[in-house]
Amino acid sequence: MTVLSRRAVLAVPLLLAGASEAAAADFAGALRAILKDRSPDEGAIAFDIPPLSENGNSVDLSVRVDSPMTTEDHVTAIHILAEKNPFPLVATFSLTPRAGRAEVATRIRLATSQKIVALAETNRGVVHRATRDVIVVLGACVETG
């Protein structure tokens, strides 16, 4: 019995390491699925997220993409990815020229301090990227909310 429980305790860090590796692989996979071999360009996105959050249960973010939003040239999708979240693809917003501006805001959960990526796809096949490093004091996986 004692041996078993010790084994169980020893297995915990391994499981946790496995989980974060899986999330990282998933993050890379999610990124690849969106990029489809295109290389993103930096800039064109104003990405607002607080660099430090006390509580990972609700973190405000806003994304504004510099785009004329005409039928010929507009943003079709904005993706938010969190590198170390159990589900790295946090949200996808689908836009049309009827949006007028490529601007969205929402509130997300963050498991831990990590890198947040915003990707914007345009109808012309261009992908814009913006990356922010955020520090989270209390992760969203600790408490419900």
Partner 1 sequence: MPTLPITARITLPPSAQRGEVVTVRVLVRHPMERAVDAPGLTPLPRKILHTLRVTYAGEEVFRMALSPGIAANPYLEFTTVATETGDLVFTWEEDGGTLYQREARLVVT
Is residue 71 close enough to count as binding partner 1 by CB under 8 A? no
- Among 6, 68, 94, 133, interactor with partner 1 by CB under 8 A: 94
**Which residue stretch of 21-29, 40-48, 119-127, 137-145 sits at the interface with partner 1 (rule: CB under 8 A)?**
137-145
Type of residue numbered 9: V
> Quick check: helix, strand or coil at residue 132?
strand
Choosing from 48, 50, 71, 96, the residue that interacts with partner 1 (CB under 8 A) is 96
Q: Which of residues 47-66 bind partner 1 (CB under 8 A)?
A: 57-59, 62
Q: Which amino acid is at 143?
A: E
Shortest CB 124 distance to partner 1, Å = 20
State the Cα–Cα distance between residues 114 and 33, nearest whole angstrom: 21
Two tokens, residue 9: 């305790």
Greatest CA span in the chain, whole angstroms?
69
Q: Which is nearer to partner 1, 39 or 108 (CB)?
A: 108
Rounded Cα gap, residues 12 and 115, in angstroms: 25
Q: Give one word for 43, left, alpha or beta, with left for phi > 0 and alpha for psi -120 to 50.
A: left
Residues touching partner 1, count (CB under 8 A): 32
Q: Is 138 in the site for partner 1 (CB under 8 A)?
A: no
Q: Coil, strand, or helix at residue 49?
A: coil
Instruction: Give me the residues that bind partner 1 (CB under 8 A), please.
Output: 57-59, 62, 82, 85-87, 89-96, 98-101, 103-110, 141-142, 144-145
